[in-house]
Chain A
Amino acid sequence: MYVAVKGGEAAIDNAHALLAHERRGDPSIPEITPDQIREQLALAVDRVMAEGSLHDRDIAALAIKQARGDLIEAIFLVRAFRTTLPRFGASEPLDTSAMSVRRRISATYKDLPGGQVLGPTFDYTHRLIDFTLAGGAAPPAPATATQGEAAPHVTTLLDDEGLIERNPSAAPDAPVGDLTREPLAFPASRDLRLQNLARGDEGFLLALGYSTQRGYGRTHPFVGEIRFGTVQVGFHAEDLGFCVDLGTISVTECEMVTQFKGSAEAAPHFTRGYGLVFGQSERKAMSMALIDRALRTAEFGEDVVAPAQDEEFVLSHSDNVQATGFVEHLKLPHYVDFQAELGLVRQLRSEFAARQADLDAMRKEAAE
């Protein structure tokens, strides 16, 4: 219960002024600009875009500055910003097979069309602090090589042999679920689950994905493919009457190949889990793919026994803006609530004391 409390205005104003002062830090150090954040803290920007569910690098960078680097606070700011804007419509589905690939790896095939392209990755780094970065020396120019062949999705190689399930196609003009317009209801369809996971908290999804690997809903996953790169955004504009190219965004995609399913009608085949995230975040895309597959447990006629398989548990707790709102609301005045609890505990204590006194009296009588 919330109570109207007055009298804090001056304190709140001064607290916000103090926040702005602390945000700036030591004024003898140059102030950071959103451009610097966008260019040099690009993965923080990617995370804020993905979980803020809004692709706009400049807004995300500014939000990170405003939030003093608190990424969940920045995500909150981005979510609030999007509510101020009208929606023009929905894009054509992104064609990730036409991605301009910056990185593309597969853990299932060594040699595959398009090859293993490492791209800009922390993998194989030694995780030793690089003190030369403190000095700000310019890095050497990256090497270049002639571009290779096209890189088709790895799962199409399995698909050719019928070894993996086909992705479900939608009926033409079937509505696409949108949890920003309709409250989430259960059971949730896969399109809604994927939307929820795509904007879900990276840490929460990581922990749940990890739990499936440790045996809480095991699916025996392989990384069929991870790809990161740029895709173009097509949009059918009503006023133009044709589809236009809005520009290019970067996304990370993960296709997880998981263990078999077969039936009386269908021969055993691999199943799939899918992850797609704004920007470069393999951890998030992989976690999403693990959980997407875990949430399909009932679809495959298996028992839901682990947290990652329980869609109500996963989808209701994945959103860090909702989660932080409810956890942090405990800071708000609960004075009347607490007074009621105080009254209750005092009453319980006086009843307890009265019972103790009665017992003491009975014991005393018995002893005499």
Chain B
Amino acid sequence: MTHASPSPGRADAEPVVVARRRAVMALTSRATEAELAAALDRVGRPAFDDIRAPQTGLVMLRGRTGGDGAPFNLGEATVTRSAVRLASGEVGIAYALGRDAAKVRLAAVLDALAQQDAPGLDEALAPVATRLAGQQDLAEARSAATRVDFFTLVRGED
């Protein structure tokens, strides 16, 4: 696998790349195909080939006994993965819940661009981050409005 050339003299350069790839994948796994296509249009769509055509399979999801104890198998989820190689050599890999092959292929291209530290990548994915944060905030705010405010009735004895 080809890694982005690390910044000269930085021993922790690879974890920085890994952190960036993880951050990009946390967005691409939750994005739609249309959102990723728009992001690639913004950042400039590179030439690429499939190394591994998108493939849908299963990941066994695990829980923990009592919430924090020993793991157990809760049930599976569909997951799609893809691997691409850019003309410039980077290998991009992506995984996401669901069965959307076209989306995961674009996510793999974005993973390859994350390794290049492609300029404008964060900005190109910003609309996805904004949508996800907005949806999460709204859902949490709606639940917060259903929180019970207990009050004690004052008895008239004293």
Binding site for B on A (CB under 8 A): 49-50, 53-56, 58-59, 82, 85-94, 96-97, 100-103, 110-111, 115-119, 142-148, 153, 155, 166-170, 174, 176-180, 190-192, 194-195, 198-199, 232-233, 235, 237, 239-240, 242-249, 251, 253, 255, 272, 274, 276, 278
Please state if A233 and B97 are interface contacts (CB–CB under 8 Å): yes
22 contacts between A and B (CB under 8 A): A54-B58, A55-B76, A82-B76, A86-B58, A89-B59, A91-B59, A94-B61, A96-B63, A101-B140, A111-B150, A142-B145, A146-B141, A147-B140, A155-B67, A168-B70, A198-B74, A235-B95, A237-B93, A244-B22, A245-B22, A248-B30, A276-B67
33-62 of chain B: CB within 8 A of chain A: 55-62
Please state if A53 and B29 are interface contacts (CB–CB under 8 Å): no
Bound together, the chains give a CA A117 to CA B138 distance in angstroms of 15
Shortest B90–chain A CB gap in Å is 13
Please state if A176 and B143 are interface contacts (CB–CB under 8 Å): no
> With an 8 A cutoff between CB atoms, is B139 at the interface?
yes
Residues from chain A with Cβ under 8 Å of B85 in the complex: none
Please state if A235 and B78 are interface contacts (CB–CB under 8 Å): no
A-B pair count, CB < 8 Å, reads 232
Please state if B96 and A247 are interface contacts (CB–CB under 8 Å): yes
Please state if A246 and B29 are interface contacts (CB–CB under 8 Å): yes
Residues from chain B with Cβ under 8 Å of A199 in the complex: 75
Please state if B141 and A90 are interface contacts (CB–CB under 8 Å): no
Please state if A195 and B72 are interface contacts (CB–CB under 8 Å): yes
Binding site for A on B (CB under 8 A): 18, 21-22, 25-26, 29-30, 55-79, 81, 83, 93, 95-99, 136-148, 150
Bound together, the chains give a CA A166 to CA B141 distance in angstroms of 33
Knowing A94-B63, A249-B61 are in contact, say whether A55-B97 is a contact too (CB < 8 A): yes
Please state if A144 and B75 are interface contacts (CB–CB under 8 Å): no
* Chain A residue with Cβ nearest B150: A110
* Chain A residue with Cβ nearest B25: A244
Please state if B150 and A56 are interface contacts (CB–CB under 8 Å): no
Residues from chain B with Cβ under 8 Å of A237 in the complex: 81, 93, 95
* Chain A residue with Cβ nearest B51: A239
9 extra interface residue pairs, beta carbon distance < 8 Å, beyond A87-B76, A167-B64, A242-B18: A54-B58, A87-B58, A91-B60, A116-B147, A144-B138, A155-B66, A168-B70, A170-B69, A253-B67
Please state if A255 and B67 are interface contacts (CB–CB under 8 Å): yes
Please state if A246 and B96 are interface contacts (CB–CB under 8 Å): yes
Knowing A94-B74, A142-B145, A195-B72 are in contact, say whether A102-B139 is a contact too (CB < 8 A): yes
Shortest B130–chain A CB gap in Å is 16
Shortest A83–chain B CB gap in Å is 10
Knowing A90-B73, A168-B70 are in contact, say whether A117-B60 is a contact too (CB < 8 A): no
Most A CB within 10 A of own CB, among B61, B76, B148: B61
Please state if B73 and A195 are interface contacts (CB–CB under 8 Å): yes
Please state if A167 and B61 are interface contacts (CB–CB under 8 Å): no
Bound together, the chains give a CA A85 to CA B22 distance in angstroms of 26
Please state if B65 and A245 are interface contacts (CB–CB under 8 Å): no
Shortest B151–chain A CB gap in Å is 11
* Chain B residue with Cβ nearest A99: B67
Residues from chain B with Cβ under 8 Å of A88 in the complex: 57-59, 79, 81, 95
Please state if B142 and A87 are interface contacts (CB–CB under 8 Å): no
Please state if A235 and B57 are interface contacts (CB–CB under 8 Å): no
Shortest B103–chain A CB gap in Å is 11
Please state if A272 and B143 are interface contacts (CB–CB under 8 Å): no
* Chain A residue with Cβ nearest B137: A147
Please state if A177 and B70 are interface contacts (CB–CB under 8 Å): no
Residues from chain A with Cβ under 8 Å of B59 in the complex: 87-91, 233, 235, 246
